[in-house]
């Protein structure tokens, strides 16, 4: 990328347009061109005036003062605001329109949730505060734990896992601890083809061998193949339900019964819990462990590297092996928070002395904001409202599926209604055109592309999840845009190969960008007399 001039604009960065017209500034009407921060800012510029340090004044940093200039780009306050505002206009968000990513529920986040999360005592809570000062926060965690146990029909829940994959690891470690407690050294985890990609990765990370279980032609787990593989070496199965084909596993109870009969445990990936919350309790299906993505099912902010939360609910068989701290519902129906110091006494009273926790997943509950948002969402909806969430999500997905299955190949369209995701493939596209081309064309229509090339069992897969918060009018607008681009792909419209035309940036060569990134770095000129790196002994 070339060096910007002093005014910040760079005509050579201007995107090519179908019309071929360019502007002097690089701007296109109200879509403003914006260079990188380090290309428009200067180290000698600052938006803050600080008092000069008087000679001989005491230093607060005890000899830790900075010895070299750090070269950070400085901007004035208006420049800073404009920079990040312009960048935000080049991004897509759920507040702009429907976010069709599948297997990654991107739903509307009610502003009430944000207001509660920012309340004093939640927003400013610190993990090292004395326990007596965080009783309210602990009560929120315990109340949320009760809801999760109740909604899933499970025995207890570990609230500490930070996200989905972290929760998966927690569940698998519980299974390992339970097997070790009975002296059963099993080494294989079975993972169906229709499971999420993190499932086999988690099992392998935990030290297990991973074997695939094929899917049936209708996109569900092959029960006969699963039963045939079960044996004394199988620790358990990791299954995603509803699965990545957007289908509910009708044989889930039979799968659980077979795995239990063979001495194994059942882990269920709960990332798609949004499709069944309030309708189906995984505990009733024989599930032993399941993580729940609070940042998917219960609306908390999702993506961008922000904090997640993946509590893991456990069956009565696995509860004694959960990580501490742990929340369990005892036979008297009361939910108890179990800490390390009380674990032994609790185990004697409620688990018959069987509690053998494998330890801690994390040092602290760092996702307090996720807890408060999720509980606010649950209390706002109530049990009936959460049931409607699942019903509306499934309704919206089926509306998209049936509105487009005449122009897009729906590989499992004959398998009955889908759940919260509609799955399409690239069958029927003209030669030379691909799912990637359709996705880039969808950007020109003002939508973020759907999930592409996943699940792997469908060629050129396109996975669309509208969520329950979209209106029929919003769905119709998305369907019209999707249909338009799909028809162009079927007709062989070569212009799709160069799409998008109207985005802030034209299409990248994604393969070359990954293999041969072009990076630029320029060292600021050091003030006269400043030692060089070699003179300082550095490399």
pTM of the model: 0.86
Calpha distance 346→201 (Å, rounded): 34
Q: Are 463 and 244 in contact (CB under 8 A)?
A: yes
pLDDT of residue 3: 38
What average pLDDT score do residues 305-330 get?
A: 83
DSSP β-ladder status, 209-213 and 335-338: unpaired
Q: In this structure, what token pair is assigned to residue 124?
A: 């400013």
According to the model, what pLDDT value does residue 23 have? 73
Q: Quick check: 303 pLDDT over 80?
A: no
Mean pLDDT (whole number) for 276-287: 96
User: Could you tell me which residues come within 8 angstroms of residue 282 by beta carbon, excluding any fewer than 6 positions away?
Assistant: 152, 153, 154, 241, 268, 270, 290, 313
- Find the range with the poorest average confidence among 5-19, 71-85, 191-205: 5-19
Angle subtended at Cα 304 by Cα 370 and Cα 245, rounded to the nearest 5 degrees: 85
pLDDT at residue 106, as a whole number: 86
Which is higher by pLDDT, 343 or 74? Answer: 74
Q: Do residues 409 and 424 make contact, with C-beta atoms less than 8 angstroms apart?
A: yes
Kindly state the DSSP code that residue 285 receives in the 8-state scheme.
G
pLDDT at 21: 61
Q: Which pLDDT band, with edges at 50, 70 and 90, does 285 fall under?
A: very high
Provide the β-strand partners of residue 215: 221
Range with the lowest mean pLDDT among 8-12, 222-226, 341-345?
Answer: 8-12
Domains, the chain: 1-50+68-90+513-539 (no CATH), 114-372 (3.40.640.10), 384-512 (3.90.1150.10)
Contact between residue 326 and residue 362 where contact means Cβ atoms under 8 Å apart? no
Of the chain, the percentage scoring pLDDT greater than 90 comes to 55
How does the average pLDDT of the chain come out, rounded? 86
pLDDT in tens, 474-508: 999 999 999 999 999 999 999 999 999 988 888 88
pLDDT computed for residue 11 by the predictor: 41
Question: What was the pLDDT predicted at 305?
Answer: 54
Half-sphere exposure of 35 (CA within 13 A, CB side): 22
Lowest mean pLDDT among 55-69, 157-171, 469-483: 55-69
Tokens of 167: 């929760």
User: So what's the pLDDT on residue 525?
Assistant: 56
Q: Which of 39-48, 438-447, 506-515 has the highest mean pLDDT?
A: 438-447
- Residue 21 or 399, more confident: 399
* Confidence bin at 315 (pLDDT 50/70/90): very high
pLDDT tens per residue, range 419-465? 999 999 999 999 999 999 999 999 999 999 999 999 988 999 999 99
Please give the structure tokens belonging to residue 375: 């509980």
Give the pLDDT mean for 283-307.
85
For residues 198 and 189, the answer to whether their CB atoms sit within 8 Å is no
Confidence check: pLDDT of 6 > 60:
no
Contacts of residue 349, defined as CB under 8 A and 6 or more positions apart, other chains included, come to none
Mean pLDDT, range 510-534, rounded to an integer? 67
Residue 73: exposure state from Cβ atoms within 10 A (0-12, 13-18, ≥19): middle
Span 233-256, mean pLDDT? Answer: 96
Best-predicted range by mean pLDDT (17-21, 100-104, 276-280):
276-280
Neighbours of 111 (CB within 10 A): 8
**Residue 104 confidence (pLDDT):** 81
Query: What is the predicted pLDDT for the residue at 326?
Result: 74
Nearest to 449 by CA among 464, 471, 433: 464
CA separation for the pair 121, 101 (Å, rounded): 34
DSSP state letters, 25-47: SS-BTTB-----HHHH-BTT--S
384-410 pLDDT, tens digit per residue, is 999 999 999 999 999 999 999 999 999
**What distance in Å separates the CA atoms of residue 117 and residue 109, rounded to the nearest whole number?**
12
Instruction: Look at 77-86, 307-316, 352-361 and tell me which has the smallest mean pLDDT.
Output: 352-361
pLDDT, greater one: 14 or 64: 64
Q: What is the CA radius of gyration of the chain?
A: 27
Three-state secondary structure call for residue 338: strand
């Amino acid at each position: 990328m070339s060096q910007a001039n002093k005014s910040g604009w760079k005509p050579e960065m201007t995107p090519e347009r179908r019309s071929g017209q360019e502007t002097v500034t690089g701007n296109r009407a109200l879509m403003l061109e914006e260079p990188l921060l380090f290309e428009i800012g200067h180290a000698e510029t600052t938006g803050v005036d600080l008092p000069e340090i008087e000679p001989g004044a005491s230093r607060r940093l005890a000899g830790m003062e900075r010895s070299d200039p750090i070269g950070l780009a400085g901007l004035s306050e208006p420049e800073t605001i404009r920079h990040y505002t312009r960048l935000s206009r080049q991004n897509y968000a759920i507040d702009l329109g429907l976010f069709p990513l599948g297997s990654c529920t991107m739903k509307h986040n009610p502003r009430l949730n944000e207001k509660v999360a920012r309340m004093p005592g939640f927003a400013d809570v610190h993990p090292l505060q004395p326990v007596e000062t965080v009783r309210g926060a602990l009560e929120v965690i315990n109340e949320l734990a009760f809801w999760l146990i109740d909604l899933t029909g499970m025995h207890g829940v570990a609230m500490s896992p930070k996200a989905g994959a972290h929760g998966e690891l927690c569940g698998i470690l519980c299974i390992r601890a339970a097997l070790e407690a009975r002296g059963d050294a099993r080494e294989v985890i079975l993972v169906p083809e229709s499971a999420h990609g993190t499932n086999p990765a988690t099992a392998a990370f935990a030290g297990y061998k991973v074997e695939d279980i094929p899917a049936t032609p209708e996109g569900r787990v092959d029960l006969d193949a699963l039963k045939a593989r079960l044996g004394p070496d199988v620790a358990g199965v990791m299954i995603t339900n509803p699965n990545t084909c957007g289908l509910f596993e009708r044989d889930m109870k039979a799968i659980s019964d077979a795995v239990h009969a063979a001495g194994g445990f059942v882990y269920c990936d709960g990332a798609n819990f949004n499709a069944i919350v309030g309708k189906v309790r995984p505990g009733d299906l024989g599930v032993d462990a399941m993580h729940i993505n609070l940042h998917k099912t219960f609306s908390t902010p999702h993506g961008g590297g922000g904090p997640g939360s993946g509590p893991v609910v456990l069956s009565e068989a696995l509860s004694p092996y959960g990580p501490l701290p742990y929340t369990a519902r005892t036979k008297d129906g009361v939910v108890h928070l179990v800490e390390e110091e009380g674990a032994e006494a609790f185990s004697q009273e409620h688990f018959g002395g069987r509690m053998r926790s494998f330890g801690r997943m994390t040092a602290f509950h760092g996702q307090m904001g996720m807890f408060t948002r999720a509980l606010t969402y649950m209390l706002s909806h109530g049990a009936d409202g959460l049931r409607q969430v699942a019903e509306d999500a499934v309704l919206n997905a089926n509306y998209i599926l049936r509105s487009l299955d005449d122009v897009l190949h729906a590989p499992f369209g004959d398998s009955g209604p889908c759940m919260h995701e509609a799955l399409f493939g690239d069958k029927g596209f003209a030669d030379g055109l691909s799912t990637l081309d359709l996705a880039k064309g969808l950007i020109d229509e003002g939508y973020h592309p759907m999930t592409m090339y996943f699940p792997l069992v469908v060629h050129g897969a396109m996975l669309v999840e509208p969520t329950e918060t979209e209106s029929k009018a919003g769905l119709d607008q998305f369907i019209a845009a999707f249909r338009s681009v799909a028809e162009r792909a079927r007709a062989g419209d070569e212009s799709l190969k160069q799409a998008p035309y109207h985005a802030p940036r034209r299409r990248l060569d994604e393969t070359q960008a990954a293999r041969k990134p072009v990076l630029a770095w320029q060292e600021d000129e050091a003030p006269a007399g400043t030692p060089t790196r070699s003179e300082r002994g550095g490399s």
